[in-house]
Structure 1
């Protein structure tokens, strides 16, 4: 008899789960292979992974929970120097950061292990490389997984599992995941206690647990990707054949018959002409002693809408990965410099950061906090695309006359001016009026 959960909804979702691998019935290897062989897929997925790997891990203790929540909410979302300063103020007020580079031998074994996990999590990868692989598996396979190699001392290694090579072994409605097993060798099993999956959302709630495999982004764009491959093949064929194919035939069949008797004479003329051609060009020339007509069998490349189709498909695929097409595929047509700058920020905020938020939550709630007692987050200061445009900010602030110069300077972390007038808004410089201090008039 199946072990049932006390949660009836869970019993329904995993009704048919039993002690065998949960079936997926999808060509996952095809999607992974497209990442390895198709430029369209590789460019989009690797852009996400490369940008995600630039995020710097940080650990901290919380001083003020409200300010810490504000810091997390604003992370990477500031639009100007003023909002960036608000983020920095919330960070200063909310947390005490422990800088990884400052952790040394005198800080104890636990902090040293934590430093290693967040810099060199295993023998084969840096933290950035591990994050890169997690994003690639997440987007191509539909799910990625962190595996914590654990001894009696605690977690000693953190690894990115190759999820396209792993099956989920079902258990029962009460305990749906019995283990994670490598395909083809079910003797190697990973204990779910040390496995931390991060999935894309799947609607495959078939009561067999298939939704646990997530939903491959490459699968979502698969039809468009195949069409793109055909369009590229059409371009390649056009390049090799000169863009069109023809059938040649004599205009006058009688002329063809009369030319047969002049074969020797025509051969001499042909030899004379060939002697003047370079050897590599000779196979491209054909001579006949009579007029020809032709039938065009293929439309010209420009008439086949191949270029327009490729552009439309790029936009669709970029949209699946929540990326602006101008950024991910370097399509700068029709865009200004400022538009491109904003697109680069949108690529981070709509494509990269939502992925990082998922990994951050898993790392914080399931690995770092329960095992080390610290909190975990990503520091987005490492993204130069988000650096406030100080010159543009100062030009905007220069037009604001109801804020003092020193207050404006503080928004960009500039030192205060000694001049007394720098503490008074410019609109009051030429008058005896001073801004009212509310506290002094109570």
Structure 2
């Protein structure tokens, strides 16, 4: 019953109000170009990795990984005709990038210039209640929604490993007891001992190496399947032109594309601004760093995932685009193994596990920075949400997926409305930031 209502409310909001969000995004980007030179100075200083490392690693650690892959595969299924097609989502996401990627630059620039966190920004330019709803929505989105994606990915890796090497098949109950609960216990110990930042920093430092390894895997994969590349582009175009409409007549792919851009890149959610909260660089430099992280994360999630999985569905009988999320992830990993062997599959598995744990622990950063509660209360909220998410990732992942779509709409809408109010209320000629 809960899943039914969450799904229908989410579909209704996205189907009816997406045009409003698109127009709001275009307005924000247009106004940013108008006022940028009034509120910030150009930064011609030398780029130093030591000064951008923190913001870039935090951003990539939260955006890149298991959840993004799972989200793209889910969007391919939703955009398909019962498993036929689905690749057209790549072009819909490319269209969405034209609006959403510049928003990352805009939201970071404005919060940097105003020296406010996203919650403080919303509190100032909307109201206190809106800021509360935004903060609660952001915490739920990360600690419940996005963490659920990571639990699903880690479970898939463990299940495949157990079948391959131990001939053991996990049931829902044994997956809960043998995979989810041990992860929850380990995370709880890390949080209670106040050592989460050490682990996040260690895992985040591995992200750059992991991304390089993952991109090299993809280059090798494309080299081995180069005869499929042109066919892949044709498949994308053909599927794109055969879209179906939902809501008030909007193409389904447009809705799914915008949802996945927000999930993958976190643009409009305010997290890019939080990732640059240390303000080690000029406002424009911080905005550029977060925009770079957004583009990297979208490329890794969309292009690599769709190409690898599309090749698998067209060449291997055991790789199919179906409703079951576990089967989709399994097909992605099997395709990597069939084409690039054990080494390529090992890179993919490492990418799943390390990025998954980074996001699970890293989500506590957003709980910490968004809720005005005592530390113990923040810990209690975080552990409660990830525990519920972990259980549902085994029993009913659809609830997590639908709830994430709903929360992304709510959080993104409040943030974009606040930015638009900022742009319409302030007399930028008088600003002295």
**TM-score range for the pair, normalised by the shorter chain length:** under 0.3
Bigger relative CO (Cα 8 Å, ≥ 6 apart): 2
TM-score norm. by structure 1 comes to 0.22
Higher fraction of helix: 2
TM-score norm. by structure 2 comes to 0.23
Higher fraction of strand: 1
